[in-house]
Structure 1
Amino acid sequence: MKVLIAGGAGYIGSTVASACSDAGITPVVLDSLVTGRREFAAGREFYEGDIADGPLIDRIFAEHPDIDAVVHCAALIVVPDSVADPVGYYRANVAKSLEFAEHLLRNGSTRLIFSSSASIYGADTDLTVDEDSPIAPQSPYARTKAVCEAMFADIAAARPLRVLSLRYFNPVGADPRMRTGLQLRRPSHALGKMIQAWEEGVPFRVTGTDYPTRDGSGIRDYIHVWDLATAHVAALAAFDTLLPETGTETGTGTGTGTGTGSAASSAVVNVGTGTGTTVRELLDVFNSVVDAPVPAVDAPARPGDVAGAYTRSERARRVLGWEPRHSLAEGIRHSLEWAAVREDVLGHSV
């Protein structure tokens, strides 16, 4: 099997590529390197360019006519940045994805796994969600993912494209073999900020302390990035069973929350641990792993931040035969191990 991974030189896409390789699937990587790293595509078929570049997509399929499926991980993902630059986010995440879909259809590519986000949900009062929970994105970034899902479902209902959207939660950790990890030295998410505070010997800022959670801090479903990558591999294996080319009803339901598409052409699956962890609890686990505990100070929420949610993940187990294997403590340890070797892999420019 051969798979085109758009955004395959980024944190998640490169880990998916490694998981594919380990499973005997050949990855072909497409990445603009706006946020991805060339080093993460080393040793793989790699094309530098944009998903909206039609001639480049045509060349990839001409040179690899045996591509069986496409995994779409290419996106801008920083919530506060999306608040500051919604035009840029809609252009990169929505407009270019529409162009990409047209290029795939022109080349006869009919299997698409879309890396979506659980940030599109409006959480229930207990802060849990499943695939049929209301869609209520609270940031421009989240809305771009919701718009893409609806757009892909509409296209799939009318054209021979079948789309499986994986709505995943908060990835942490690194490839356990340290081939790839977060490319940024100073990532903006909570664990990245904890590592920075630990390295600098300063308190960690808990941004947002009056959310309706058990301790007032935001709650997230932290999934090890390697578990997330193996979920993509499981989705590739299950794709034709979940979305058969014949258009036969599978009975899984789409759970799109959009009212568009059909069960035979598009579907969604949550990929998370099923466990909610607050930011304060994340810090407790972090401090159980490191030798010098990091103190906390309270701070205001960042633009676009929300209370958060975690998944009820029965569907992933049922239709993908997948479940997470790595603990949060392992994710933290692997993040720390990656932080220690990142400059050796990527140099001092990150």
Structure 2
Amino acid sequence: HDGARLRATLREHQVNAVMHFAAWLSVGDSVKDPAGYYRNNVFGTLSLLDAMVAEQVEHLVFSSTAAVFGNPEETPISETHSTRPINAYGETKLAVERALPHYARAYGLRSVALRYFNAAGADPDGELGEDHAPEQHLIPRAIDAALGRDTFQVFGDDYETPDGTCLRDYIHVTDLASAHLLALDALRAGAGSTQYNLGNGRPTSVRDVLEAVERVTGRRVPLTMGPRRAGDPAVLYASSARIARELGWTPRFESLDVIVETAWRWREAHPQGYGEKRTY
């Protein structure tokens, strides 16, 4: 949260817009350590916003999350749905979202908050992929299990869903990237601050994902059943009609098997992930 360093960086590189991706993002960890999540995700972002104001950087694309909605009252979820997070991660992202209109009115810092549903997949060209330490995202965990590295644990099979497991909306990272560019173009063209949901609009269960991994890899995914994880909503899937209507965005990678296939190809080519190159 080094405001002076942030200002110096913005000034040195003559930055005129910021895409802010950095955050802690584990739902489970946020329940265990809410204070840490508020310090990092909220205070850290406010430090960035203050540096942007000081250096007259007026455009921000902010990585938000479907976790701002909590347990939805209706699906698919539109941008006008009530926001009631059930975990500290969602609360921290919503806190920033609520600050952004005030920064726009007071300082002229306009922003687009992009509410990711479940980002997944890898660069189709094979250059970039997903590699966390420890890995907590469903698709790479399932692929690792298929490779014999671990047993996949399902967090709860007693939800009120067709197969008892959580329903999520998986969106390919390349489609997320294109939405960021469209959002930045809109801000530069004079658009006001707003929020957009980003998803495929298709509810997909944990079991659906495991079956897709088995189809794509030709391997069995060994699994165990565990209890529900604190802070996990039963169902989250998006309506992305607003960004389609206003910015012309539509996802190119709609097939779950294609999303899994890109992740699998990257993992095959990079069995140790980024290895020593990993910086987080």
Q: Which amino acid aligns with 1:339?
A: R
Distance 2:87 2:216 in 1: 33
Distance 2:189 2:233 in 1: 35
Moved more, 340-349 or 324-333: 340-349
- Out of 115, 121, 127, the residue aligned to residue 173 of structure 1 is 121
- The secondary structure found in structure 2 opposite 1:113 is strand
Q: Which amino acid aligns with 1:294?
A: V
1:316, distance to aligned residue in structure 2 (A): 1.4
Given that 1:202 and 1:294 are in contact with CA atoms closer than 8 Å, whether structure 2 keeps it comes out as no
- Out of 184, 194, 199, the residue aligned to residue 267 of structure 1 is 194
Instruction: Specify the alignment match of 1:61 in structure 2.
Output: 10
After TM superposition, the structure 1 = structure 2 runs for residues 320-335 of structure 1, keeping only pairs within 5 Å, are 320-326=247-253, 327-335=255-263
- The secondary structure found in structure 2 opposite 1:68 is coil
1:337 paired with 2:271, answer no
Moved more, 149-158 or 105-114: 149-158
Superposed CA RMSD in Å reads 2.0
Distance 2:169 2:5 in 1: 37
After TM superposition, the structure 1 = structure 2 runs for residues 107-256 of structure 1, keeping only pairs within 5 Å, are 107-184=55-132, 186-200=134-148, 203-241=151-189, 243=191
Moved more, 79-88 or 217-226: 79-88
1:212, distance to aligned residue in structure 2 (A): 2.0
The percentage of counterpart residues that share the same residue type is 37
Distance 1:195 1:345 in 2: 12
1:96, distance to aligned residue in structure 2 (A): 1.2
Given that 2:71 and 2:233 are in contact with CA atoms closer than 8 Å, whether structure 1 keeps it comes out as no
Distance 1:105 1:298 in 2: 49
1:57-110: per-residue Cα shift (whole Å, max 9, x none)?
Answer: 222233222x33111111011111111111111000001111111110000011
For normalisation by structure 1, the TM-score amounts to: 0.74
1:184, distance to aligned residue in structure 2 (A): 2.1
Instruction: Specify the alignment match of 1:315 in structure 2.
Output: 242
Distance 2:99 2:107 in 1: 12
Instruction: Specify the alignment match of 2:275 in structure 1.
Output: 347
Given that 2:267 and 2:273 are in contact with CA atoms closer than 8 Å, whether structure 1 keeps it comes out as no
Q: Which amino acid aligns with 1:53?
A: D
1:287, distance to aligned residue in structure 2 (A): 1.6
Given that 1:208 and 1:299 are in contact with CA atoms closer than 8 Å, whether structure 2 keeps it comes out as yes
- The secondary structure found in structure 1 opposite 2:250 is coil
Instruction: Specify the alignment match of 1:43 in structure 2.
Output: none
After TM superposition, the structure 1 = structure 2 runs for residues 287-326 of structure 1, keeping only pairs within 5 Å, are 287-326=214-253
Given that 2:146 and 2:222 are in contact with CA atoms closer than 8 Å, whether structure 1 keeps it comes out as no
More RCO (CA 8 Å, sep 6+): 2
Distance 2:105 2:164 in 1: 42
- The secondary structure found in structure 2 opposite 1:167 is strand
Distance 1:228 1:164 in 2: 13
Query: Any unmatched runs of 5+ in structure 1?
Result: 1-51, 244-263
